[in-house]
């Protein structure tokens, strides 16, 4: 049985946090809101608890998890940080930025999927931060969706995907950014962007200088999660670049999501006012539109700057690259 506790995001109830801590301490799973998406958390020092996360999500065992911490000092208990990594943490944490660093031996292999590195982030959501500061251990947490599905941006999506696979859900309302954190590999001389996300690449490059984009197989293998079809609704998705004519004959067979209203007729559409709103609402829109009696979801292909880079990444993975 899954217990759902509502928590006030600005003033999270101490009893709910203590309950979450107690579930995690005894090896159970707790879903909690972050500023990006909901996470499915386990005690990051307990290998068996972490294994239960893979089982609940149906996640391939070679895809490592992110450790969530309540401070940069706690991050350094799990990873080796050099001066550059420390300055990134100091400048940009808490926030939607995950750093891949060399792992300390205390990190269980279930967290790292056997790699010598570990992904770490300190989230800024008040509920996540209060929970992490309450716990005397780091919390290993992937997004709280069933593997391959759109990430959950509210508690109902967590419940729908995980059913009884989670002991406790802290319901802090919808998340702020709607897309996952930016993941960068800081283990080599040049930082590598492993996953575009809620933290803009432009801001990272202003601070760190050029950040390399993974090209080809060898780099892709470094972030195992990017190999799979991901973030996908049940229905096929097709992307529409607005400079091309809208495929008019779709009609009642298609639903649409984007920022510009399509000229052609569709069964239903969800229109967002700007890229930030599109990012915040995309996954929830997929979960809404896939329930309609249509054959296809058409999504607007956005510009590449700012959050657009992450939006494009999620849309490509959700559609299998089917550009219109």
Query: Site residues (CB under 6 A) for ligand TXA?
Result: 34, 36-37, 39, 63-66, 96, 98, 100, 112, 115, 117-119, 123, 141-143, 180-181, 183, 194-195, 222-226
How near is the Cβ of 41 to ligand TXA at its closest, in Å?
8
Pick one of 112, 143, 223, 319: the residue that binds Mg ion (CB under 5 A): 143
Give the shortest CB-151-to-Mg ion separation in angstroms: 6
Report, in Å, the least distance between residue 10 CB and Mg ion: 26
- Residue 198 gets which letter from DSSP? S
Residue 182 interacts with which of ligand TXA, Mg ion, none, CB < 5 to 8 Å by class: none
State whether the Cα torsion 245-248-250-251 is positive or negative: positive
User: 99 - beta bridge partners?
Assistant: 120, 184
CB closer to ligand TXA, 21 vs 125: 125
Measured from the CB atom, the residue of 114 and 251 that comes closer to ligand TXA is 114
CB nearer Mg ion, residue 312 or residue 324: 312
User: Out of ligand TXA, Mg ion, none, which partner does residue 34 contact, by CB within 5 to 8 A per kind?
Assistant: ligand TXA
| Minimum CB distance to Mg ion, residue 243 (Å) | 31
Cα–Cα dist 252/250, whole Å: 7
Residue 320: name the closest of 250, 240, 256, 231 by CA: 231
Please state the separation of Cα 73 from the chain's center in Å: 23
Shortest reach from residue 195's CB to Mg ion, in Å: 9
- How is residue 250 annotated by DSSP? G
Binding span for Mg ion by CB under 5 A among 64-72, 137-145, 215-223, 266-274: 137-145
Chain residue at closest Cβ approach to ligand TXA: 225
Length in residues, the chain:
324
User: In the chain, which ranges are E strands?
Assistant: 3-6, 30-33, 38-43, 66-68, 97-102, 117-121, 139-140, 168-171, 182-185, 192-195, 237-240, 251-258, 266-271, 296-300
Burial of 140 (0-12, 13-18, 19+ CB in 10 A): buried
Q: Closest CB to ligand TXA among 2 and 63?
A: 63
Contact positions vs Mg ion (CB under 5 A): 143
């Amino acid at each position: 049985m899954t217990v759902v506790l509502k928590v006030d995001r600005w003033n999270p109830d101490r009893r709910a946090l203590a309950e979450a801590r107690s579930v995690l301490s005894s090896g159970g799973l707790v879903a909690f809101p972050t500023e990006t998406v909901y996470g499915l958390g386990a005690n990051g020092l307990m290998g068996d608890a972490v294994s239960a996360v893979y089982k609940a999500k149906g996640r391939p065992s070679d895809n490592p998890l992110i450790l969530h911490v309540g401070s940069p000092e706690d991050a350094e208990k799990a990873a080796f940080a050099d001066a550059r990594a420390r300055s990134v943490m100091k400048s940009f944490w808490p926030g939607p930025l995950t750093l891949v660093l060399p792992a300390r031996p205390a990190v269980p292999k279930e967290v790292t999927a056997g790699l010598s590195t570990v992904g770490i982030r300190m989230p800024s959501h008040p509920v996540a931060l209060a929970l992490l500061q309450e716990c005397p251990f780091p919390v290993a947490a992937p997004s709280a969706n069933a593997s391959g599905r759109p990430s959950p941006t509210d508690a109902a999506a967590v419940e729908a995907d995980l059913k009884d696979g989670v002991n406790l859900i802290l319901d802090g309302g919808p998340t702020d950014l709607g897309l996952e954190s930016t993941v960068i590999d800081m283990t080599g001389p040049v930082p590598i962007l492993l996953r575009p996300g809620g933290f803009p690449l432009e801001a990272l490059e202003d601070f760190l200088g050029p950040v390399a984009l993974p090209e080809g197989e060898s780099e892709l293998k470094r972030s195992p999660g990017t190999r799979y079809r991901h973030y996908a609704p049940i229905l096929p998705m097709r992307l529409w670049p607005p400079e091309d004519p809208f495929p008019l004959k779709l009609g009642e067979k298609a639903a649409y999501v984007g920022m510009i209203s399509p000229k052609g007729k569709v069964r239903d559409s969800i229109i967002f006012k700007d890229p930030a709103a599109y990012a915040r609402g995309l996954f929830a829109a997929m979960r809404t539109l896939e329930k309609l009696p249509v054959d296809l979801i058409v999504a607007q292909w956005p510009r590449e700057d700012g959050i657009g880079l992450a939006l494009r990444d999620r849309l490509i993975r959700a559609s299998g690259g089917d550009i219109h």
